[in-house]
């Protein structure tokens, strides 16, 4: 694909992806889980994903290819690991499309205007109704159509949306801090950390914080569609990610300080459960004009994110076909518009199925966070494997202190998976395991298929052991993270780290040169930096 997305457009596209439904729901959910300490959760989540992103910037500039995050693991550890990583990443991306549509419809259901009474039937007991699902499907179809024709249309649309999406949260922060902001909320109702320190970690996944920061990969997956990728991949991520961390953290501060003291005294933070968090607070503060803007933003913000992730998800699915373990027609590009149209259509129908199965924002965000992290932990291992196997390859961006930052990113990612709590961990691992059925079917039909399948197990055994270790730890870990309490908190963190560190070094040891590595070498040599 031609390199034609500028730095400004990639920053706007990434911001449009990051500032989505996470800010509309995340602050309310995080405060409900952790109280004022949710501020730390947003900073911690930003640090975790930020350090992971640094690893992927080096890989992204080494191999600037469309849908790259679905391919890097196969370059260093063979087709089986590449497929598992790509499948986990694709599942997380696929889920984002329906979750953004669900978020928009959930806010629509509480529109206060008299002419919008018909939207009340979209939600019942926190779940999308059948009537609401019809609107969800229409949103998803619109997301897809805006990506169907060209990258130029996509970037023009998302650049406009991104400006609006940043302006409204910033306005909300300012108005709430000037109207009804009570600093006493930060230490009343059992203090700054009312439910213990463990809730800080729980909120990073359960409140959708990891999910909210997930969109840095929009830049990575655009690959060779970016103008001057050797520098714009780095700056696109750094600029957009830095802006989003500041906005999200200040939104949490504004939310905590603006919750009416009467409500807080009556129910505590666990009892604060707004259907439309910021809009509901605005109405309680008699800021109806702000509430109106927020209801409009609740339509526009998820819409912009959904549009962006149709592009990312279609490219991720198309990239997975390069290993020939999925039908190759999924990777075909439109001759005229150079977009993977078939992948977009398949993702649309699968997204509709997911929306019908998972009918609320909270459940979807937890699944996304966990599956995303499974894909992400392959990045640091791949990075250090290439440092060992191919030290002389071109690295337009070379991560400084990688010997420290790569294992740190890996361990933080594994801890965040553990924080998702049992049984979410094993449920997501099961969904990831379903993808292996496709892999085995396609592999055994190829010449020397069984032999290749057995050979590829070496490159993937470290991740299998990691998921097995996290499953065991999640089951026997502390009560704070859904376990049986055989290990006390925070000692369980130490054992998670110890076992994961062993899997990390095994992963670096198991990297090897294969057919996929030759493809990576060709990509690296084609760069004209």
The residues, any chain, with a CB within 8 Å of residue 262's CB and separated by 6 or more, are: none
Domain membership of residue 5 (yes or no) is no
Domain membership of residue 61 (yes or no) is yes
Kindly state the average pLDDT of the residues 273-295: 87
Kindly state the average pLDDT of the residues 167-184: 89
Mean pLDDT, the chain, integer: 83
Domain membership of residue 8 (yes or no) is no
The yes-or-no verdict on residue 406 having pLDDT over 90 is yes
Domain membership of residue 4 (yes or no) is no
Query: pTM of the predicted model, to two decimals?
Result: 0.84
pLDDT level of residue 339 (50, 70, 90 thresholds): low
Burial level of 101, CB count in 10 A (0-12/13-18/19+)?
buried
Predicted local confidence at residue 414, as pLDDT: 95
**Backbone phi, psi, residue 334, to 5°:** -60, 130
- Beta strands 123-124 and 127-128 are antiparallel
Kindly state the average pLDDT of the residues 472-488: 90
* CA distances from residue 38 to 64, 206, 488, 498 in whole angstroms, order as listed: 36, 12, 22, 27
Q: How far apart are CA 227 and CA 224, in angstroms?
A: 8
- Residues 204-234: tens digit of each pLDDT: 988 888 888 877 776 776 656 677 776 777 8
pLDDT level of residue 335 (50, 70, 90 thresholds): low
Domain membership of residue 11 (yes or no) is no
Quote the Cα angle for 464-465-467, to 5°: 65
pLDDT level of residue 184 (50, 70, 90 thresholds): confident
The yes-or-no verdict on residue 146 having pLDDT over 50 is yes
Predicted local confidence at residue 1, as pLDDT: 43
Kindly state the average pLDDT of the residues 264-288: 85
Predicted local confidence at residue 260, as pLDDT: 86
- Residues 350-378: tens digit of each pLDDT: 888 888 877 777 777 777 788 888 989 99
Q: How far apart are CA 185 and CA 264, in angstroms?
A: 8
Higher pLDDT, 313 or 244: 244
Domain membership of residue 253 (yes or no) is yes
Domain membership of residue 238 (yes or no) is yes
Higher pLDDT, 161 or 288: 288
Please give the share of the chain, as a percent, with pLDDT higher than 70.
89
Predicted local confidence at residue 176, as pLDDT: 92
Predicted local confidence at residue 255, as pLDDT: 94
Least confident stretch, 30-34, 78-82, 488-492 = 78-82
Give the torsion sign (CA, 154, 156, 162, 168): negative
Q: How far apart are CA 273 and CA 10, in angstroms?
A: 35
- Residues 112-144: tens digit of each pLDDT: 778 878 888 888 877 888 888 898 889 888 888
Higher pLDDT, 459 or 328: 459
DSSP class per residue in 394-458: --SS--TTHHHHHHHHHHHHHHHHHHT-TTHHHHHHHHHHHHHHHHHHHHHTSTTHHHHHHHHHH
**Backbone phi, psi, residue 226, to 5°:** -90, 135
Most confident of 7-11, 234-238, 379-383: 379-383
Q: Within 10 Å of residue 95's Cβ, how many Cβ atoms?
A: 27
Predicted local confidence at residue 251, as pLDDT: 95
Residues 372 and 15: beta-carbon distance below 8 Å: no
Least confident stretch, 9-23, 171-185, 276-290 = 9-23
Kindly state the average pLDDT of the residues 78-95: 84
Note down the domain range covering 70: 18-519
Residues 420 and 366: beta-carbon distance below 8 Å: yes
Higher pLDDT, 487 or 274: 487
The yes-or-no verdict on residue 36 having pLDDT over 90 is yes
Q: How many domains does the chain have?
A: 1
CATH of the domain at 82: 1.20.1740.10
Residues 419 and 366: beta-carbon distance below 8 Å: no
Q: Within 10 Å of residue 191's Cβ, how many Cβ atoms?
A: 12
- Residues 3-27: tens digit of each pLDDT: 467 788 778 777 777 777 778 888 9
């Amino acid at each position: 694909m031609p390199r034609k997305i500028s730095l400004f457009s990639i920053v706007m596209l990434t911001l449009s992806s990051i500032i989505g439904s996470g800010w509309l729901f995340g602050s309310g959910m995080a405060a409900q889980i952790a109280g004022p300490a949710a501020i730390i959760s947003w900073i911690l989540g930003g640090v975790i994903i930020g350090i992971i992103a640094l690893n992927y910037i080096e890989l992204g500039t080494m191999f600037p290819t469309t849908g790259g995050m679905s391919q890097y693991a196969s370059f260093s550890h063979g087709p089986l690991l590449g497929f598992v990583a790509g499948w986990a990443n694709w599942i997380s991306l696929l889920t984002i499309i329906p979750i953004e549509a669900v978020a928009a419809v959930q806010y629509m259901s509480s529109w206060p205007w008299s002419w919008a009474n018909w939207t009340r039937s979209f939600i019942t007991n926190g779940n999308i109704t059948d009537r609401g699902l019809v609107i969800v499907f229409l949103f998803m179809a619109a997301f897809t159509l805006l990506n169907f024709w060209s990258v130029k249309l996509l970037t023009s649309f998302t650049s406009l949306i991104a400006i609006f999406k940043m302006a409204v949260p910033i306005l909300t922060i300012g108005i709430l801090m000037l109207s009804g902001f009570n600093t006493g909320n930060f230490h009343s109702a059992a203090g700054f950390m009312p439910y213990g320190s463990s809730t800080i970690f729980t909120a990073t996944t359960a409140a959708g914080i990891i999910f909210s920061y997930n969109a840095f990969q929009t830049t990575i997956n655009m690959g060779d569609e970016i103008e001057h990728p050797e520098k714009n991949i780095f700056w696109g991520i750094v600029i957009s990610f830095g802006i989003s961390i500041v906005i999200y953290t200040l939104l949490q501060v504004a939310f905590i300080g603006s919750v009416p003291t009467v409500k807080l005294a009556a129910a505590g933070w666990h009892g604060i459960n707004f259907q439309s968090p910021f809009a509901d607070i605005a109405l309680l503060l008699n800021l109806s004009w702000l509430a109106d803007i927020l209801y409009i933003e609740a339509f526009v913000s998820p819409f912009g994110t959904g549009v962006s992730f149709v592009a990312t998800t279609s490219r991720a699915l198309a990239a997975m076909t390069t290993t020939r373990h999925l039908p190759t027609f999924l990777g075909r590009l439109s001759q005229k518009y150079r977009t993977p149209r078939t992948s977009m259509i398949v993702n649309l129908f699968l997204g509709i199925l997911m929306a019908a199965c998972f009918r609320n924002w909270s459940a979807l965000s937890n699944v996304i966070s966990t599956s995303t992290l499974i894909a992400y932990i392959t990045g640091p291992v791949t990075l250090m494997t290439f440092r060992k196997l191919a030290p002389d390859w071109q690295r337009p961006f070379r991560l400084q202190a990688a010997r420290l930052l790569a294992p740190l990113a890996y361990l933080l990612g594994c801890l965040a998976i553990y924080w998702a709590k049992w049984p979410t961990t094993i449920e997501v691992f099961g969904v990831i395991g379903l993808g292996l059925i496709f892999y085995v079917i396609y592999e055994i039909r190829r010449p020397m298929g069984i032999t290749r399948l057995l050979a590829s197990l070496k490159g993937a055994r470290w991740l299998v052991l990691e998921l097995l270790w996290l499953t065991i730890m999640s089951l026997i870990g502390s009560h704070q993270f859904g376990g049986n309490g055989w290990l006390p908190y925070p000692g369980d963190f130490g054992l998670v780290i110890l076992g994961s560190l062993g899997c990390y070094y095994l992963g670096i040891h198991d990297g090897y040169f294969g057919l996929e590595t030759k493809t990576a070498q060709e990509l690296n040599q084609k760069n004209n930096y």
